[in-house]
Copies of this chain bind each other. A is one copy, B any other.
Amino acid sequence: MTTKKDQIFQAIISHINKAGLLKNLTIAEIARLADVGKGTVYEYFSSKDEVICETIIYILESIMAETLFEIPTNTQFSTILIKHIEAMLKVSQKYANIDLMLMTDGISSTLEAAYKQKLLQKVIEIKKKYTDYLKTLISIGVKENIIIDIPDQYLIFIVGNIIMTGVSYYYHELPQEARNEKEHINRIYQTIIKLLS
């Protein structure tokens, strides 16, 4: 991975964090933020749609990398789940404005059909990875008798969503002064336990 390519990714992420997504996200602006020439962008990507598409994939994989930890043997269920939720909170702050958008067509709706399809595939792949991760994680809870049974696909989907919703609630609904990270993480954890027990 070239440095220039990373500069471009970071430029786009920075623009989104500041400005919300698409408005004024031009190649000229991306190049300016990335501190490269406009033409240089086309050395690394074949079109604007590709830049956007690959950036989103980059973000998605970063999020996965930063939140899906290796699960060591002999780890407590609560420890690892709470660690994951904690990581989701962190990552959500880092990619403010992006987190929710990723769950939807928000970005991809501006892309040409081919790239939209490509992105969709990636999202499916990542969802699968995430669902598998949660399943593995929950199975530890089952072993520890905290959770009665391995839930089916629907319930795992709901669990994943509760984590994201919970994180979103923390940043978008709770007023700054009411925020207590540790407490809120625990709250999300308890919600999941309640649902799965």
A interface, over-half SS: helix
- Interface check A108, CB cutoff 8 A: yes
Let me know if B158 and A162 touch, CB within 8 A: yes
Query: In the complex, which residues of chain B have a beta carbon less than 8 angstroms from the beta carbon of A22?
Result: 22, 109-110
Q: Which of A53-61, A70-78, A165-173 contacts B (4 or more CB under 8 A)?
A: A165-173
CB within 8 Å for A153 and B165 given contacts A105-B106, A109-B20: no
- Interface check A40, CB cutoff 8 A: no
Query: What sequence of 0s and 1s flags, for each residue 1-41 of chain A, a beta carbon within 8 Å of any chain B beta carbon?
Result: 00000000000000000001111000000000000000000
Count of chain A residues with Cβ under 8 Å from any Cβ of B?
A: 33
Query: In the complex, which residues of chain B have a beta carbon less than 8 angstroms from the beta carbon of A103?
Result: 100, 103-104
Query: In the complex, which residues of chain B have a beta carbon less than 8 angstroms from the beta carbon of A153?
Result: 173
- Interface check A97, CB cutoff 8 A: yes
Let me know if A108 and B20 touch, CB within 8 A: yes
CB within 8 Å for A20 and B116 given contacts A101-B105, A194-B195, A195-B191: yes
- Interface check A68, CB cutoff 8 A: no
Query: In the complex, which residues of chain B have a beta carbon less than 8 angstroms from the beta carbon of A97?
Result: 105, 109
- Interface check A107, CB cutoff 8 A: yes
- Complex Cα–Cα for A169 and B112 (A): 25
- Complex Cα–Cα for A111 and B97 (A): 14
Query: What sequence of 0s and 1s flags, for each residue 90-130 of chain A, a beta carbon within 8 Å of any chain B beta carbon?
Result: 00000001001101111111111000100000000000000
| Residues in A lying within 8 Å of B, measured CB to CB | 20-23, 97, 100-101, 103-112, 116, 153-155, 157-158, 161-162, 165-166, 169, 173, 187, 191, 194-195
- Contacts A22-B22, A153-B173 known; list 7 others, CB within 8 Å: A22-B110, A23-B112, A100-B104, A106-B109, A161-B165, A194-B195, A195-B195
